[in-house]
Structure 1
Amino acid sequence: MLDIMQDESGVILRNGDLVLDGGIDGIAQQAEIRVGTNRGEWWLDETQGLPWLPGIMASRLPVSIVSNMINAEARRTTGVTDARTTTINDVKGDYTIRFAVYVGADSTEVTSGIN
């Protein structure tokens, strides 16, 4: 599956063209977006994402439960064979989540922020 590549500044353009990636970076980016989406937010697939508001953030769930939820949601991404949370930081309701995405034998880490 191809994805439009983005970085911290937004969509990446090369010579005026969008950069597409169907490899591990594109798949990891899709997993990152899926984990960071509030369930019901995306009208094309209201089952995608996690119940960030009011579920996770309002309930102050233990990090171990949130980690399991993140890993399970990331694994629902096409092409992802495994996902493992490496760190979760919760500073006054602002979550920073780092997790490894595995595609076959390859892996890469991504960061998702929720506030």
Structure 2
Amino acid sequence: MSVRFGLAIDQASNDLYLAADGNLAVVTDALAVGQHARQRLQTFAGEWFLDTTCGVPWLDDILGRSYDPALAESVVKAELLGTDGVEEITSFSVSFDRATRGLVIRSVNVTTMFDEEVQI
């Protein structure tokens, strides 16, 4: 299965939005792959009732124990590389914020099956 298009998601609000013509905005090809990868990173393991195997095990493997940078990086990278259409991770920068006990994904770029690089 290859991702060809999807509804556009506003990165600031994580919500759908309307295009200038009044229809739902859509993204295609490489942008759709990038958006799908971003959505996968925002999904907690077990969160989606239709497929409880999808999502990142944020609580079990990353944030629910003492922070292990190598484990966090490998789990996030595995989720990205498991996204349909993602060919390679070209840049990757994450850090742990001790004050909020959260993983901050600073920047991630991937190349897609469309031979384009997108930022997640």
Paired letter, 2:117: S
Number of matched pairs: 110
The percentage of aligned residue pairs carrying the same residue is 25
Q: Compute the displacement of 1:84 (Å).
A: 5.1
1:96 aligns with 2:104: yes
Root-mean-square deviation over aligned CA pairs:
1.7
Write out the 4+ residue segments of structure 1 that deviate beyond 4 Å after TM superposition: none
Alignment CA distance shift 1:23-1:82 (3 Å): same
After superposition, where does 1:46-61 map in structure 2 within 5 Å?
Answer: 46-61=52-67
CA deviations over 1:51-78 (Å, ceiling 9, x no partner): 1113310113322221111111111111
Structure 1: gaps (5+ residues): 111-115
Structure with greater proportional strand content: 1
Q: Which has the larger radius of gyration?
A: 2
Tell me which residue corresponds to 1:12.
17
Alignment CA distance shift 1:103-1:53 (3 Å): same
After superposition, where does 1:1-115 map in structure 2 within 5 Å?
Answer: 1=3, 2-7=5-10, 8-9=12-13, 10-14=15-19, 15-83=21-89, 86-91=92-97, 92-97=100-105, 98-104=107-113, 105-110=115-120
CA deviations over 1:15-57 (Å, ceiling 9, x no partner): 2211112211111111111122111101122111111113310
TM-score by length of 1: 0.83
Structure 2: gaps (5+ residues): none
